[in-house]
Amino acid sequence: MNIADKGDRLGNYLIDSFCFSLIIMTGAFVFDGWLGMITEDGSPLLGILFLVLYFLYHLLFELLRGKTPGKYLTRTRVVNSVGEKPGLKQLIVRNLCRLVPFDNLSFLFGKGFHDGLSGTIVIKENTSNAGK
């Protein structure tokens, strides 16, 4: 397996952060009145909603396609330790770990926290495995 390098991983993070931000800004614009109602009293609901959406963004893309928009653009994807599509349990663990504050850039210092605990790897695609 051709493991993705730190540059690819950083690209994934930046692209996905941008895409997720666009989703959040669009949602905030569309649901402005509703969001105002749940945050008027200092309720933590907006923060919880953000974390749930962040979790679902990554989980759904990785579950359905094996890759987020960032991974699509950098031609990388998530696999398990034997190079196959990860199972639902692995992806849930992987994406729950993303909610840990220091996880976002942990891949810059070795195997990412969310990769290590979930038993997943981000690999660089090539023409022989791009359709898997």
Residue from 68, 85, 86 nearest 76 by CA:
68
- Rounded to a whole number of angstroms, the distance between the first and last alpha carbons of the chain is 13
Per-residue pLDDT of the chain in tens (132 residues, 90 and over written 9) = 898 888 898 899 999 999 999 988 887 777 766 666 555 666 677 778 888 999 999 999 999 988 999 999 999 999 999 999 999 999 999 999 888 877 777 777 767 778 888 899 999 998 554 444
Residue from 11, 123, 89, 94 nearest 132 by CA:
123
CB burial class (10 A; 0-12, 13-18, 19+) of residue 71? buried
